[in-house]
């Protein structure tokens, strides 16, 4: 049973199961969180199996020198762990909770309209990625733009208005 109503937009993919780990049902997990422990604070995960999204409860989570590993309830041997290989791991956006003042989750930026200080619409945020120490907005509109998510360029994020204001000219090449 899944705790969401089938709307995948409510899900935040937080990692991927890489492979079995040992013979007792543990799996290695590639986390997409800033800190591997970020995923450990959630006791229930949604795992995309071949049958669809399935809620799984964690028994144990460990950060090891060669990566993170998790033991799920009911996943008790290597064969069960093998069936999870390559599965995405997600939680619901509601489970993330609210951020502290001055902080944002990337997922909250997806779909926001991006306008420049002159009011020109540049497009919508399709995604983000890391480039060195800087996050980069991927903005799709008349053309695709890569806008560094730094104070020099991003002037305001208004989640209520679903808008990001940037210091970026419409004719800039990316």
pLDDT value of position 2: 44
Assess contact for 169 and 152: CB atoms under 8 A: no
119 shares its domain with 91: no
Q: What is the 3-state secondary structure (H, E, C) of 2-48?
A: CCCCCCHHHEEEEEEEEEEECCCCEEEEEECCCCHHHHCCCCEEEEE
Total domains in the fold of the chain: 2
CATH number, domain at 41?
2.40.30.60
Q: Which structural domain, as residue segments, surrounds residue 128? A: 106-166
Compute the average pLDDT of residues 126-145: 90
Judge whether 127 lies within some domain. yes
73 shares its domain with 151: no
Indicate the range of 44-58, 89-103, 159-173 predicted with least confidence.
89-103
Determine, yes or no, domain membership for 24.
yes
pLDDT in tens, 12-49: 889 999 999 999 999 999 988 878 788 899 999 999 98
Give me the half-sphere count of Cα atoms (radius 13 Å) on the Cβ side of residue 8. Answer: 8
Residues 40 and 61 in one domain: yes
Same domain, 84 and 126: no
Q: What percent of the chain has pLDDT over 70?
A: 94
Considering the domain architecture, whether residues 14 and 75 belong to the same structural domain is answered as yes
CA nearest 113: which of 129, 125, 105?
A: 125
- Of the pLDDT bands very low, low, confident and very high (cuts 50, 70, 90), residue 57 is very high
| Residue 79 confidence (pLDDT) above 50 | yes
């Amino acid at each position: 049973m899944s705790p969401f109503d089938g709307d995948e937009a409510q899900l935040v993919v937080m990692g991927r199961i890489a492979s079995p780990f040992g013979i007792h049902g543990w799996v290695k997990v590639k986390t997409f969180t800033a800190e591997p422990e970020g995923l450990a604070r959630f006791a229930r995960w949604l795992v995309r199996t071949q049958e669809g999204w399935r809620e799984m409860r964690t028994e144990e989570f460990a950060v090891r020198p060669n990566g993170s590993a998790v033991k799920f309830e009911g996943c008790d041997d290597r064969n069960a762990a093998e069936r999870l290989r390559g599965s995405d791991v997600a939680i619901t956006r509601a489970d993330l909770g609210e951020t502290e003042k001055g902080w944002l989750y990337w997922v909250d930026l997806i779909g926001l309209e991006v306008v420049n200080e002159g009011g020109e619409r540049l497009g919508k945020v399709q995604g983000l990625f890391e480039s060195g120490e800087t996050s980069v907005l991927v903005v799709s509109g008349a053309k695709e733009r890569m806008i560094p998510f730094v104070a020099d360029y991003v002037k305001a994020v208004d989640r209520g208005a679903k808008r990001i204001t940037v210091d970026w000219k419409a004719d800039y090449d990316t």
